[in-house]
Amino acid sequence: MTQAAGSGLNPKLDELCINTIRTLSIDAVEKAKSGHPGTPMSLAPLVYTLWNRVLQFDPQDPIWPNRDRFVLSNGHASMLLWSVLHLTRTQAVNEKYENLGQPSVGIEDIRRFRQLDSKAPGHPEYRWVSGVESTTGPLGQGVATSVGMAIAQKWLADRYNRPGFPMFDYRIYTVCGDGCMMEGIASEAASLAGHLGLDNLCWIYDNNKITIEGNTNITFTEDVAARFHAYGWNVLRVSDANDTVRIEQVLDLFRNGKGRPTFVVLDSHIGYGSVNKQDTAAAHGEPLGAEEVRLTKRAYGWPEDAQFLVPDGVYEHFASGIGARGGKARGDWMKLFEAYRAQYPELAAEILQIQRRELPAGWDRNLPEFPANPKGLAGREASGKVLNVLAQNIPWLMGGSADLGPSNKTLLTYPGAGDFQAGSPGGKNLHYGIREHAMGAIVNGLALSKLRAFGATFFVFSDYARPAIRLSAIMEIPSIFLFTHDAMGDGEDGPTHQPVEHLASLRAIPGLTTLRPGDANEVVEAYRYIMQLRHQPVALVLSRQALPTLDRGRYAAASGVAHGAYVLAGGEGEPEIILIASGSEVSLAVDAHEQLVQEGIRSRVVSMPSWEIFDHQSPEYRASVLPPKVTARIAIEQAATFGWERYVGQAGRVIGMRTFGASAPLQELQRKFGFEPRQVVAVARELLGRA
């Protein structure tokens, strides 16, 4: 039997609540004929204790700014979360931050677990279900994202807390399993969290020694506790996952700890409470079966034929626990905030803007305008100049690079920018180390905490961050991913450092906006567009080498970036041929255009920094840029040609990469692969029958 947590509590009610979580999970998986009952069964005592005894969370207002965060990194155990969100009667909130007056997860949602439109999907989904702090499922993502949440709390506290006004003092609790511990992203994130001394962060490791293929001893025999000691974490242990007294004790130790994150090793047996079937199937994707369900419920002292039963007193017990505690904490905070607003009105206004994902007045003031210059400026250089303006105008914009700040030009160098470190949590320069995957998840954690955050590396290494980038799109959060060295500009380093397929792969992610600006002023306009996004992540892809800064008195204004594509040159009348380009190839298209015009060919240049933005424009606008009658079209991009056929059609041509690159100076590579004006002109003549 589970022991009662704390003093003056009702052990029978505690046990009843725990078994309600277990049996709701069993019944949901059994009815769906799909899911993972074992982990919810074994971790029910932990989740009950954490939610009903410890967590500072108000079910009536699940987006209250100073709430504790709970992340279920082993997201296959989602029935744990759906059960507790239902039993606490957590309320649903819409995208306008309005309370809908209905439960986030109803009993019918649980009955329809893993079914279409149910608020109890197979894995936790942010924005689909209120009370979910992060979408999880790909193992390791949740724990890594929680590091970003912990960084955000430290930064918010440093900027906004004042004597007598602890506006941000929440904590982050993350439950994870063996799979999370094996994934490399977790190691990257844990190493950084230890370095930063994030004592507001607690990972609870379900040490059940089971994965899909069997006992972990076939692949995973390291001393995990020793590993986290080496990372600089405080490591605690609970030898029995059903010992709620010990669970609450270690969580108290975490809350009172200073200077280090906490790692709790929770020893459990998968499917605890099941009489016969305590194996990998119960943990990883198989229902127990009708007979085993009856035997398990009998072991719990539960009515064997009852389904989706919530006994009398369970809702009330959660209401008197987390409901009363969370409601009081939120009410106290709201009163404190009113007093804070009276004393610190400007800071209070910032807090409200952050929570609503709004921008401060004048956020785009003083953005640079770059004069025409044939020698030009690298995309990364222009980006660095813009970032240093925006970060001063938007206090909650912060970020950094995966050890490439000086090369990515992401360092914030203005006075007072500072570095985020254990001793300086107000710094706005984040140093992620050579940890691209964790960087992506940490950026997501910061964005989930409502800060505007960016992470940067070379474009070719976006592969290492791709799973986190994909999750940002699924969650619809405005994460910013900056990539430099976008093509063959890093020539001598060779094909390992020359991204070829990466633009196509990012463009394939639904909901992600990819921007590849063609000169310094397009970089400015790209940022102007990005900063106004509230629910879309962005990949901004920038050049290493200098690009000519176009004369905007002669060519169209760079503000056309906001449309995804625009007529840069040759907009008068109907063209004979259209040259479409992005990034470093825009100036190449302009040079070819000028040569074609001299030959008497009506040419048009379309700068297309973003397919996604352009595709969302009206049909009329798209037709004005790319007239359907004009079938002679050439797309020019130092990347894989995949996908460009949608813009050039069957009659058009794509000058792009059909192999990997090579190691050589840039000019030689451009000559070899056809990225020169004369070669573009030759293709244009051929298409027009004037070869």
Give the closest residue to 203 by CA, choosing from 187, 217, 218: 187
437 half-sphere exposure, CB direction, 13 A CA radius: 19
Q: Strands 201-207 and 210-211: what pairing?
A: unpaired
Q: Are the CB atoms for 439 and 479 separated by under 8 Å?
A: no
By DSSP bridging, strand 69-72 and strand 214-215 are unpaired
Task: Name residue, tokens 């209905």.
Answer: 102
Residue with tokens 């700014």: 65
Degrees, nearest 5: CA angle 311-316-322: 125
Give me the torsion for CA of 540, 541, 545, 546, rounded to 10°.
-50
Q: Of 69, 77, 65, 87, nearest to 20 (Cα)? A: 87
Beta-sheet pairing, 633-640 with 577-581 = parallel
Provide the sign of the torsion angle of the four alpha carbons 183, 189, 193, 194, taken in this order.
Answer: positive
Q: How far is CA 95 from CA 63, 127, 182, 346, in A?
A: 11, 8, 35, 25
CA 149, distance to chain mean position in Å, is 11
At CB < 8 A and 24+ separation, what contacts does 507-512 make? 507/611, 507/612, 507/643, 508/643, 509/469, 509/470, 509/473, 510/473, 511/473, 511/474, 511/476, 511/536, 511/537, 512/469, 512/470, 512/472, 512/473, 512/536, 512/537, 512/538, 512/539, 512/612
* Rounded-to-integer distance, Cα 589 and Cα 549, Å: 14
In the block, residue with structure tokens 């037709």? 623
Q: Which positions are catalytic?
A: 436
Give helix 324-343 / helix 345-355 axis angle, nearest 10°: 130
**Of 12, 21, 54, 13, the residue nearest 39 (C-alpha):** 21
Contact between 388 and 413 (Cβ < 8 Å): yes
Nearest alpha carbon to residue 299 among 14, 48, 1: 1
- Residue 246 CA, chain-centre distance (Å), reads 34
Helix, strand, or coil (residue 127):
coil
Backbone angles phi, psi at 169, to 5 degrees: -140, 30
* C-alpha to C-alpha distance for 684 and 603, rounded to whole angstroms: 9
Q: How far is CA 1 from CA 18, 45, 202, 277, 281, in A?
A: 10, 11, 26, 19, 24
